[in-house]
């Protein structure tokens, strides 16, 4: 079956209703039922609880509390590199931005302007720059960390669809990451501007950042923006940036002539938080 046919049912599913329902279940404090759900999930997806700060699943009062669990402080040592991997996950794609086009999958690109919610001036800072798309599967640790030191300047909420973001869907739906709901975080760094985009998906109940808390819900039909130029919100390399309540994808943008990616990086390869992602040119 082709990827386009495989994703056809997603166009018909009531993705918003499914996402809202999943969010209610994930936030519910159901006692033994919640523990049973977590135990099933750990077994189904082979989640490594030995890395968790609290490995006892009976201590988590809701599924989301478990899903956004903290890791032990020694579980992800940070590499001595200019840029580290910000998540546990898999590399969907990475490399050079072709003018303003980001490669999604064979036959599919999307523009930097579309990704950041239509702000052409912001997108222009990444013309012919570099990008990385990282997919977080259900088994992964779902907090997102800083790849380098940075000062927060803006956050943009962009409404959109709620398609799945798994590899099959990325191959089958054009412009997936620029059509799904997303939260765009903009930073200034010693190497120039940097964007971290949190991409929503089916049953991703919400996305949150450490400086704002939960961004969605509420969901909106229009772009919302927060400016932080008058605040000194500094995050160090490895600091927590935000989290997904159920899994999704991050898309990072970097300016031209900044990065050389780690030679071990390859599409579909598994990556871990703290590993070397790239160094300055």
Residues noted as catalytic: 88, 145, 248
> DSSP string of 114-181?
HHTTS-HHHHHTTTT-EEEEEEPPTTS--EEE-SS-EEEEEEEEE--B----SHHHHHHSTTGGGTB-
Contacts of 167 by beta carbon, 8 Å cutoff, 6+ apart? 90, 92, 105, 135, 268
**Phi-psi group of 175: left, alpha or beta (phi > 0 → left; psi -120 to 50 → alpha; rest → beta):** left
What is the C-alpha separation between 127 and 107, in angstroms, rounded?
20
Strand order across the beta sheet in which 259-261 lies: 83-84, 276-280, 259-261
Q: Which residues on adjacent β-strands are paired with residue 251? A: 133, 197
Q: Which helix (H) or strand (E) holds 63?
A: helix 63-67
Two tokens at 44?
């189904």
Two tokens at 177?
């990451």
Cis check for the bond before 218: say yes or no (omega within 30 of 0): yes
Contact 165, 249 (CB under 8 A): yes
Two tokens at 202?
């089916």
DSSP 77: P
Q: Which helix (H) or strand (E) holds 280?
A: strand 276-280
């Amino acid at each position: 079956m082709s990827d386009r046919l495989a994703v056809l049912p997603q166009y018909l599913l009531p993705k918003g209703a499914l996402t809202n329902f999943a969010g209610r279940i994930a936030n519910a404090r159901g006692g033994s039922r919640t523990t049973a759900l977590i135990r099933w999930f750990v077994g189904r997806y082979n989640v490594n609880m030995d890395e968790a700060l609290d490995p006892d699943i009976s201590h988590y009062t809701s599924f989301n509390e478990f899903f956004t669990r903290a890791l032990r402080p020694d579980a992800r040592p940070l590499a001595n590199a200019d840029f580290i991997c910000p998540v546990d996950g898999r590399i969907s794609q990475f490399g050079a931005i072709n003018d303003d086009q980001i490669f999604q999958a064979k036959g599919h690109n999307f523009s930097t302007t579309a990704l950041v919610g239509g702000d052409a001036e912001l997108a222009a800072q990444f013309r012919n720059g570099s990008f990385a798309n990282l997919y977080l599967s259900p088994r992964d640790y779902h907090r997102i960390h800083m790849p380098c030191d940075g000062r927060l300047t803006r956050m943009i909420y962009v409404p959109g669809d709620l398609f799945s973001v798994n590899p099959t869907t990325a191959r089958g739906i054009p412009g997936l990451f620029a059509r799904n709901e997303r939260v765009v975080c903009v930073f200034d760094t010693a190497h120039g501007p940097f964007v971290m985009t949190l991409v929503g998906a089916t049953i991703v109940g919400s996305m949150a950042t450490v400086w704002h808390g939960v961004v969605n819900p509420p969901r909106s039909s229009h772009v919302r923006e927060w400016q932080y130029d008058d605040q000194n919100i500094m995050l160090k390399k490895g600091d927590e940036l935000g989290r997904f309540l159920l899994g999704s994808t991050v898309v990072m943008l970097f300016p031209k002539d900044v990065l050389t990616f780690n030679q071990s990086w390859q599409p579909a390869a598994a990556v871990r938080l703290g590993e070397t992602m790239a160094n300055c040119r």
